[in-house]
């Protein structure tokens, strides 16, 4: 106003147009953030599932470790017999 020496008036119609534009931008931003939230939640869920699978595989490895050591000893004995 001071730079142009003009008065700016806001009519009810232009105000409503401005509010409609603001509402549409707000809706777009809400949808964007909601999609990002769902994406992060999905990622966290997959990470949790992978963590559970890793725990199960680690237990399986620990359970099979003694048998592996036993088979290793048998293999060494067999290699000695072959030599």
Tens digit of pLDDT for each residue in 39-69? 999 999 999 999 999 999 999 999 999 999 9
Cα 79 off chain centre by: 50
C-alpha–C-alpha distance, residues 27 and 23, integer Å: 6
Q: Does the predicted model carry a pTM greater than 0.85? A: no
Write the CA distances from 73 to 25, 61, 69, 78, 82, integer angstroms: 70, 18, 6, 9, 14
Note the pLDDT tens digit of each residue in 1-42. 567 778 878 899 999 999 999 999 999 999 999 999 999 999
Instruction: Answer for the pair 1, 8: CB distance below 8 angstroms, yes or no.
Output: yes
């Amino acid at each position: 106003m001071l730079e142009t020496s003009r008065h700016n008036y806001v009519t009810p119609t232009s105000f409503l147009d401005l509010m409609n534009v603001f509402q549409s931008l707000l809706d777009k931003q809400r949808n964007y953030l909601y999609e990002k939230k769902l994406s992060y939640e999905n990622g966290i869920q997959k990470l949790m599932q992978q963590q559970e699978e890793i725990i199960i595989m680690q237990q399986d490895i620990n359970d099979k470790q003694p048998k592996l050591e036993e088979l290793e000893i048998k293999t060494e004995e067999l290699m000695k017999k072959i030599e």
